Copies of this chain bind each other. A is one copy, B any other.
Amino acid sequence: LLSKNRIQCRAIEVQTNHTFLKGDKFQLEDVIEAQQFDRDTLSAIFKVAREMETIEKNSHGSQLLNGYLMATLFYEPSTRTRLSFESAMKRLGGEVLTTENAREFSSAAKGETLEDSIRTVEGYSDIIVMRHFESGAARRAAMTANIPVINAGDGPGQHPTQALLDMYTIEREIGKLDGIKVGLVGDLANGRTVRSLAYLLAKYDNVKVYFVSPQVVKMKEDIKEYLTMKGVKWEESVDLKEVASECDVVYQTRIQKERFGERSDLYEEARGKYIIDGEVLGVMQEHAIVMHPLPRLDEIRVEVDGDPRAAYFRQAKNGLYIRMALLKLLLIGW
């Protein structure tokens, strides 16, 4: 519908006051990896996400993206992520083309390249949200497409909108990103979530990170070295309660059974080791929060859900606001 570097005049429903961006605007072209964002960009995106929250709560059917068409091109199913993006587009009055089985896309099955598929789909839509099973696929898609591409997860690679919504949740709940203490708990070896989060936390000043994980799924050296290089203090701990009492954010993750293969004994041992329950909650500070990327099994007990510090469902909802913000920024700019 539109070329990428278009200039647009259209009435935006919310009052905007981007003093920060006066004379310093940039055009967001694609969302490929968490590291592409600097502090100022993150701050600007979060501001738009707040506006989106207002739109979603107060207006009946925003028409901000009326006439725009988003293609959700999912090469592996991820219903939660897909519904979040599609809700974001529809909450802004945009429309959606969906395929959750792009891998069986008759064309891909017949041997068509990703590049050719993207060239076809970009003819039908204004923006592509792609999930793929191969690391680097999102970047290849973005290099081919003449319309914006959002990476909704590419294999073991990146899932940048998850990292953004995590950071947005911390800022929204704690009120700041500098000077925070974050405990990363659970499967720190395999979760791309906590790895991306570590990268983004390193952009802020005076952050302290605690790693609490079973021995078999410890945080890998590359992240620790990265944090050290960036001047972020970190330590490993085996005492979840002590860490919980110190932190602003306790970020729990699921131990991924599929990583343990036949060693279900190791899985069961790892899984039961660090659980957030009423007792852990009891030592946490009043203003602190518990986060989790979901789905959870029992690594956070249901008894925690009713506590105002249980932020994980608010966190999931923030994914909607972040995605609304990104769709707006990519399609019509600041």
Contacts and interface: CB of A to CB of B under 8 A. Distances in A.
A16 interface: no
B77 A125 contact: no
Q: Among the interface residues A56, A61, A68, which one has the most CB atoms of the partner chain B within 10 A?
A: A61
21 contacts: A60-B68, A61-B68, A77-B101, A77-B104, A79-B101, A79-B105, A80-B105, A80-B107, A83-B99, A83-B121, A83-B124, A87-B124, A90-B95, A106-B295, A110-B295, A112-B294, A112-B295, A116-B296, A119-B316, A120-B313, A124-B320
A261 interface: no
Q: Among the interface residues A1, A295, A320, which one has the most CB atoms of the partner chain B within 10 A?
A: A295
Contact of A297 (B77, B111, B295): B111
One complex includes copies of this chain to the number of 3
Contact of A79 (B102, B116, B317): B102
A85 B77 CA distance: 22
A264 interface: no
Q: Classify chain A: how many residues form its interface, as a range.
A: 35 or more
A254 interface: yes
A89 to B, nearest CB: 10
Contacts of A66: 60-61
Interface in A271-299: 294-297
B59 A67 contact: yes
Interface in A52-84: 56-57, 59-62, 66-69, 71, 77-80, 82-84
B69 A90 contact: yes
A56 B1 contact: yes
Contact of A295 (B78, B86, B107): B107
A69 B59 CA distance: 13
Contacts of A102: 79
Interface in A306-334: 313, 316-317, 320
A156 interface: no
A98 interface: yes
A111 B299 CA distance: 12
B106 A79 contact: yes
A97 B86 contact: yes
Contact of A61 (B67, B71, B97, B120): B67
A33 B83 CA distance: 27
A123 interface: yes
A294 B107 contact: yes
Given A69-B90, A90-B97, 14 more contacts: A1-B56, A77-B101, A77-B104, A79-B99, A79-B102, A79-B106, A79-B107, A80-B107, A83-B97, A86-B97, A106-B295, A110-B297, A116-B295, A119-B316
User: Nearest 4 CB-CB pairs, A to B?
Assistant: A61-B67, A112-B295, A87-B124, A60-B67
A91 interface: yes
A313 B1 contact: no
A97 B68 CA distance: 17
A99 B95 CA distance: 16
A83 B317 CA distance: 27
A179 to B, nearest CB: 29
Interface in A213-272: 254
